Chain A
Amino acid sequence: MIKVVIPQIKLKQGNKDENLELTIDIIKRYFNEKKPTLIVFPELSIIGYFIADAMYEAAEPLNGPTISRIAEILDEKGNLAVGIGIPELDLRKRGLIYNTYVLISSGKIMGVWRKTHLPTFGVFEEHRYFARNAEHGLVVEFHGMKFGVMICYDAFFPEIARIYSLKGADAIIVPASSPLPSRELWDPILRARAIENGVYIIFSNHVGYRDGLMFFGESRIIDPTGIIIAKAPAFEEYVLEVEISPSRVEFARRVRPTLRDLDTRVIEVLYRESKPKT
């Protein structure tokens, strides 16, 4: 049994220092928590998501001040894990920036995920800033449950959730920065990903205005049978706390064994058909 915490709080657009303090304040609330606790901040939480060309200035490497500071306060707090989003400066390929999500526990980075599908349409212009990642499948274990991460728009591509599930994930974290025009889409998308794979989906969204764009909140957790077990309100700050259990994953895969029934030959067809024809 793991307690999942989704802090749907008003992070400040572009103010990393203040956001880091807000993040730490939330984490400190759980210092004396007995149960293993996973705190899931939204996509690019440290910058409040949308900051246009200030992104170049805000990007920092994985060993930069944000991750180091959080790792430092989580030192030896083995029953706490924290997920945060940063614009990550690539240390090997200078100048490249990724939309990155990091899970931290016991003073160390547990895992790093970089967004693959960078929305560049309508109100979004992520491809202007970020390099895309094509590697998926990292699953990390925390107190007996396995977690994968798909960042926001990645959830619209069922292949990603499938990869994590085949790699053994019990729950997939979906850190998001979703504004009003996408609001109606999330329930069907997230529930479908849960049902298709028999996994928990943990959706953590921003709340509040970024310039004229309202990030609507409604963070939620879908259980592996596809039921929304908790949902934060729209437009308001709210800290969601829900317990998740591996036994629900087992139950879901018993009553609707989608993962067992998946015919992998279909994936071979998908692979063959998705390659460009010459």
Chain B
Amino acid sequence: MMYPNSIEDIRRILLSINIKETARLIKEFIRDYFERVGAEKAIIGVSGGVDSSATLMLTRRALGKDAILALIMPHKGITPEEDVQDALEIVKLANVEYKMINIDKISMNIKSIIENTGISLNRMAYGNIIARSRMIVLYAFANTLRGIVVGAGDKSEIILGYYTKYGDGGVDILPIGDVYKSQVRILAKHVGVPEKIAMKPSSPRLWAGQTAAEELGADYTEIDPILFALFELGMKINDVLSLKGVRGELVYALLRRIKVNEHKRMFARIPKIHKGPTIGIDWKFTIWR
């Protein structure tokens, strides 16, 4: 491997991931966790996007069809009809049980009850209510069916904090959480996700017309090599800035985003009082039986 000197070089390394082995590691992980906690169902929210489709197919391969319940939770006026169709296509392809729950009534009720106090919620606040409403529904099923909630966040989104805290971030496991978005697209195709879903542009769909590219200032094809250079190749910021084809202002914008969203990756901060272990600071235990 030559030392990379352009964004294109890094993209090539990023995309050269051993996809077969990655799929296998993820499947083993899902199986291990499922058995370890003694779960009986894996509950997965399916949006019709690449992440949840790949996660569904991987979980299906890991646990078999009977262990899975897929939930499709569109919001009228925000979720495009095409997404609902894609979600239906993927759950049928996976041949798993699914339920369709319109999330708009739940979310709008919450909004109107809050707004009755005299506050007017902004677009972001309502978008997060939608994501958190879905989390509530997923956990209602999980609690009742002795299930775990399988999340679909990928490494690019988690690093950038581009998700809703306690919304789509409120899950038990994140099987593709160490796989960059551009890699997820390859992984998705490998596990049988149709091309048009695998290559669909990303969007959290928290309001009509929202796209990740517009909000983040670039497409993941441009973002991922920067994240990869920083976190997987351990390149210094100055070296990343000097790569051929890199936009400096994007690098700084991403770094800012990573920093301000650090809180999303942590347990709620607690001031330490005792000598013993404090949660989120020096509390270190594993999930073992």
A residues with CB within 8 A of B? 12-15, 48, 50-54, 125, 128, 180, 208-212, 214, 235
**Given A235-B24, A235-B25: A53 in contact with B32 (beta carbons within 8 A):** no
Residue-by-residue, is B253-289 near A (CB-CB < 8 Å gives 1, otherwise 0)? 0000000000000000000000001000001111111
B residues with CB within 8 A of A? 24-25, 28-29, 32-33, 178, 277, 283-289
Given A14-B289, A128-B284, A180-B25, 15 additional A-B pairs, CB 8 A: A12-B288, A13-B289, A14-B288, A15-B288, A52-B284, A53-B284, A54-B286, A54-B288, A208-B28, A209-B28, A209-B33, A212-B29, A212-B178, A214-B28, A214-B29
Assess whether A51 is in contact with B288, with CB atoms less than 8 Å apart: yes
A266 to chain B: closest CB distance in Å?
A: 33
**Complex contacts, A13 vs chain B, CB 8 Å:** 286, 288-289
Assess whether A53 is in contact with B277, with CB atoms less than 8 Å apart: yes
**Complex contacts, B287 vs chain A, CB 8 Å:** 211
Complex CA gap A180/B28 in Å reads 13
| Chain B residue with Cβ nearest A53 | B284
A-B contact count (CB 8 A): 45
Complex CA gap A125/B284 in Å reads 11
Give the residue of B24, B178, B283, B286 whose beta carbon is less than 8 angstroms from that of A51.
B286
B215 to chain A: closest CB distance in Å?
A: 29
A232 to chain B: closest CB distance in Å?
A: 16
Give the residue of A128, A180, A210, A214 whose beta carbon is less than 8 angstroms from that of B286.
A210
Most central of A15, A52, A208, A209 by chain B CB within 10 Å: A209
Assess whether B285 is in contact with A53, with CB atoms less than 8 Å apart: yes
**Complex contacts, B284 vs chain A, CB 8 Å:** 52-53, 125, 128
Assess whether A54 is in contact with B32, with CB atoms less than 8 Å apart: no
**Complex contacts, A12 vs chain B, CB 8 Å:** 288-289
| Chain B residue with Cβ nearest A214 | B25
The 5 sampled A-B contact pairs (Cβ below 8 Å) are A15-B289, A53-B277, A208-B32, A209-B33, A214-B25
**Complex contacts, B178 vs chain A, CB 8 Å:** 212
**Complex contacts, A212 vs chain B, CB 8 Å:** 29, 178
A119 to chain B: closest CB distance in Å?
A: 16
**Complex contacts, A128 vs chain B, CB 8 Å:** 284
Complex CA gap A33/B107 in Å reads 68
Assess whether B285 is in contact with A54, with CB atoms less than 8 Å apart: yes
Assess whether B285 is in contact with A52, with CB atoms less than 8 Å apart: yes
| Chain B residue with Cβ nearest A15 | B289
B183 to chain A: closest CB distance in Å?
A: 16
**Complex contacts, B289 vs chain A, CB 8 Å:** 12-15
Assess whether B25 is in contact with A211, with CB atoms less than 8 Å apart: no
Give the residue of B28, B277, B286 whose beta carbon is less than 8 angstroms from that of A211.
B286
A236 to chain B: closest CB distance in Å?
A: 10
**Complex contacts, A211 vs chain B, CB 8 Å:** 286-287
B267 to chain A: closest CB distance in Å?
A: 15
| Chain A residue with Cβ nearest B177 | A212
Complex CA gap A208/B287 in Å reads 14
Complex CA gap A235/B28 in Å reads 9
| Chain B residue with Cβ nearest A10 | B32
Complex CA gap A82/B285 in Å reads 30
Complex CA gap A14/B284 in Å reads 14
Complex CA gap A15/B284 in Å reads 17
**Complex contacts, B283 vs chain A, CB 8 Å:** 53
